[in-house]
Amino acid sequence: GQSLEQPSEVTAVEGAIVQINCTYQTSGFYGLSWYQQHDGGAPTFLSYNALDGLEETGRFSSFLSRSDSYGYLLLQELQMKDSASYFCAVPSRPARQLTFGSGTQLTVLP
């Protein structure tokens, strides 16, 4: 089966940098995805890492270490609108269906 662990809550101030970690256990690893979900909203895709290293997309970056079964999402220059839940997810066999972590609630303070 698959399991993912991420912190339940993270708090930071506007303009700061925050890192949300995710460790996973899965049979047959394909990659690690990150999603953002605002209260009452739909989850939206942020990034996907299939290979080791850092992927940067604007203020958001995502990192993967397959040997450590670990990844993180890095948010820079935090804004109030970044307050949301962030989920890591892994595709699973047989059809690469996504299994989600329990989510990290990020609160950005003024």
Contact assessment for residue 96 and residue 32, using Cβ atoms and an 8 Å cutoff:
no
What is the per-residue binding string for other proteins in 50-69, x denoting contact by CB under 8 A? --------------------
Does position 44 interact with other proteins (CB under 8 A)? The reply is yes
Distance of CA 54 to CAs 1, 38, 72, 81, 105, Å? 26, 25, 9, 23, 22
- By CB under 8 A, name the one of 5, 98, 107, 109 that touches other proteins: 98
Q: How far is the CB of 40 from other proteins (least distance, A)?
A: 8
Residue 71 has a CB neighbour count (10 Å cut-off) of 26
| Contacts to other proteins by CB under 8 A | 30-33, 41-45, 48, 87, 89, 91, 94-103
